[in-house]
Amino acid sequence: MSNKVLVEILVPAAGRSYDVWIPLESRMGEVTRMVIQALSELTAGEYKASADAVLCDSQSGSMYDVNTEIAELGIKNGSRLMLI
C-alpha cells in the first residue's frame, strides 16, 4: 500500500487508540472527517466527535493544517496522531 500509511490514532475522550490506514494524497481535513466516521462505526456510535474535532501530533500537540496533504506533513507509517 504505497499510497497509504498506517498510523495510530489516539482518542483521549474514549481512552483508546486505533490503527488506521490513511491516504497520502488526501488533505488533513478530509482525513479528519474520514477518521471521525470510521471511529464512529468502529465504536458502534459510542464515539461522537464534535464539529470542531481535529487531528494533531500526539507528541507535540501541534495541530495539522487541514489544507495540507498528508505526505507534505511528514506523516509516515507508525506516526501517532491524536483526535481531540
Q: What is the mean pLDDT of each run of 10 residues along the chain (84 residues)?
A: 89 89 96 88 77 91 95 96 94
Please give the grid coordinates belonging to residue 81: 496522531
Give ∠ CA 49-26-53 in degrees, rounded to 5: 15
Alpha helices per DSSP H over 14-70:
28-42
For 31, residues 6+ apart whose C-beta sits below 8 A from its C-beta are 22, 23, 55, 70
- Domains of the chain from N-terminus onward: 4-83 (3.10.20.90)
Say how far residue 83 (Cα) sits from the centre of its chain.
Answer: 6
Judge contact between 1 and 20, C-beta under 8 A: no
Q: Looking at residue 44, what is its pLDDT?
A: 76
Q: Looking at residue 28, what is its pLDDT?
A: 96
